[in-house]
């Protein structure tokens, strides 16, 4: 058994676009882009769409050009992407000793103790995920997380030669990758840092690996020092396992259209409170304070700008959607000013606590037991019958102000009424 640490970084290729293709075999060879909320800009591109459009390009600007090249655009369908991500991660988890889910389409795996050849293992992992989900993944394998990430990056650049899998545990291969990668390709090295490093004569990943660790720490931070050490092959980062309970929970969205009246804004705030409170209960926390804010568009010079927020102190630490909705909608009525065209609302839950964690003053108010029970029933019903089945009366079923998602695919895997339909 190998004793030294061994990591893989596994990521999904053009994840959102790949998800859209799973249930659309007719689009296997059609370039695809996925748009941000409200169909604002391009946030994902299949490989064959990359030549036609830049990442982040506004959709209204690119629309004509995309349709000219036969590129199909989708609104983002997070229910689908979330479900497919869970499938990919569960499959990988079943094949490796330990896993850290790093983002919706990326994970680090601990490979220590894997007996077979590493490239072969990477290939079998890739094959299995592709067969079971239809999602192609890339695999980078190395002795540290930072090197694994760099290997993955290289695997993508050399897709035709590597088939998406690179093992750089061999020092000769590792050094080749370090010499042929820019410092800016390294995990955590942003644009500003790149400029600083270049000023010090550090251009390639190899330059960074060989830089003096103490100088890096003094000039920048211990994080950059660790990055350099990891590039040199000394593991400084471990898999991060348990997901920590969040200290703040935020729910915010742009409205599908500008709103000038209070009632629909109150509906939106009630909706966001509902979502945030559900997340709060899912992590078993209570909250004592919340911030409700609304704002107009900030970039259009022809519009009057207004942004205002209110801090709401809750009477006791709570997770009760009803109480929180009442206080949040009261608050937004106070900060709303007529004559503005609002574009966004946000609800931020703060001062989160675990039950029993806060010192309970004998005479302090506590959340009534009945509210907790009611909320559990509501969550159970919504888990079973779908989000929004049971909700406060202030939350509309289909809001006029909802997001524009005109080109959204079905919830193929999460809604029984939207299953993929196949002819027979």
Q: Which is nearer to another protein, 125 or 150 (CB)?
A: 125
Minimum CB separation of residue 23 from another protein in Å reads 8
Q: Which is nearer to another protein, 95 or 254 (CB)?
A: 95
The beta strands (E) that lie in 281-365 are given as 286-296, 307-318, 342-353
Per the CB < 8 A criterion, the answer to whether 292 and 375 are in contact is no
Q: Which is nearer to another protein, 60 or 420 (CB)?
A: 420
| SS3 (DSSP) at 408 | coil
Both tokens assigned to 56: 């982040």
Minimum CB separation of residue 70 from another protein in Å reads 14
The vertex-348 CA angle with 374 and 394, nearest 5°, equals: 50
Q: Which is nearer to another protein, 365 or 377 (CB)?
A: 377
Q: Name the one residue in this structure whose structure tokens are 């997340």.
A: 279
Minimum CB separation of residue 423 from another protein in Å reads 5
Minimum CB separation of residue 372 from another protein in Å reads 19
Minimum CB separation of residue 14 from another protein in Å reads 19
Using a 10 angstrom Cβ sphere, with 0-12 exposed, 13-18 middle and 19 or more buried, the burial of residue 268 is: buried
Q: Which is nearer to another protein, 90 or 354 (CB)?
A: 90
Q: Which is nearer to another protein, 311 or 377 (CB)?
A: 377
Q: Which is nearer to another protein, 25 or 339 (CB)?
A: 25
Minimum CB separation of residue 87 from another protein in Å reads 4
Both tokens assigned to 246: 């969040």
What does the alpha-carbon distance between residue 345 and residue 258 come to, in Å, rounded to a whole number?
A: 11
Q: CA torsion angle for 222, 223, 227, 230 (degrees, to 10)?
A: 70
Closest CA to 40 of 255, 296, 281: 255
Site residues for another protein per CB under 8 A: 25-26, 28, 86-88, 90-91, 128, 131-134, 380, 383-384, 413, 416, 419-424
Minimum CB separation of residue 125 from another protein in Å reads 13
Per the CB < 8 A criterion, the answer to whether 287 and 351 are in contact is yes
């Amino acid at each position: 058994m190998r004793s030294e640490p061994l990591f893989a970084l596994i990521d999904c290729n053009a994840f959102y676009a790949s998800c859209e293709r799973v249930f659309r075999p007719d689009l296997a060879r059609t370039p695809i882009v996925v748009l941000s909320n409200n169909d604002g800009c391009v946030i994902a591109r299949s490989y064959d769409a990359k030549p036609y459009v830049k990442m982040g390009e506004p959709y209204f600007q690119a629309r004509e050009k995309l349709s000219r090249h036969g590129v199909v655009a989708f609104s983002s369908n997070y229910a689908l992407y979330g479900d497919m991500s869970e499938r990919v991660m569960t499959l990988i988890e079943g094949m490796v000793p330990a896993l850290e889910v790093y983002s919706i389409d990326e994970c680090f795996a601990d490979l220590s103790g894997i007996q077979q050849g590493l490239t072969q293992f990477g290939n079998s992992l890739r094959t299995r995920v592709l067969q079971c989900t239809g999602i192609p993944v890339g695999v980078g394998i190395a002795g540290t997380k930072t090197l694994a990430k760099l290997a993955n990056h290289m695997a993508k650049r050399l897709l035709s030669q590597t088939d998406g899998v690179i093992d750089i545990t061999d020092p000769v291969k590792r050094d080749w990758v370090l010499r042929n990668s820019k410092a800016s390709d390294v995990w955590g090295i942003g644009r500003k840092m790149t400029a600083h490093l270049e000023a010090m004569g550090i251009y390639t990943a190899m330059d960074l690996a060989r830089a003096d660790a103490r100088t890096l720490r003094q000039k920048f931070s211990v994080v950059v020092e660790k990055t350099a050490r990891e590039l040199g092959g000394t593991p400084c980062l471990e898999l991060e396992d348990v997901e920590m309970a969040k200290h703040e929970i935020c729910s915010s969205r742009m409205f599908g259209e500008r709103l000038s009246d209070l009632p629909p804004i109150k509906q939106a705030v009630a909706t966001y409170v509902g979502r945030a409170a559900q997340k709060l209960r899912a992590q078993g926390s209570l909250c004592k304070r919340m911030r409700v804010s609304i704002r107009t568009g900030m970039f259009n010079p022809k519009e009057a700008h207004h942004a205002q927020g209110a801090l709401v102190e809750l009477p006791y630490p709570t997770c009760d959607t009803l109480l929180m909705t009442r206080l949040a909608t009261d608050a937004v009525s106070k900060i709303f000013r007529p004559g503005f065209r609002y574009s966004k609302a946000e609800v931020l839950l703060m001062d989160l606590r675990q039950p029993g964690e806060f010192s309970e003053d004998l005479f302090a108010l506590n959340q009534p037991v009945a509210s907790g029970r009611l909320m559990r029933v509501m969550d159970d019903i919504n888990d079973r019958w779908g989000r929004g089945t049971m909700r406060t009366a202030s939350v509309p079923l289909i809001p006029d102000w909802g997001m524009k998602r005109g080109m959204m695919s079905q919830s193929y895997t999460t809604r029984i009424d939207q299953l993929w339909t196949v002819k027979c």
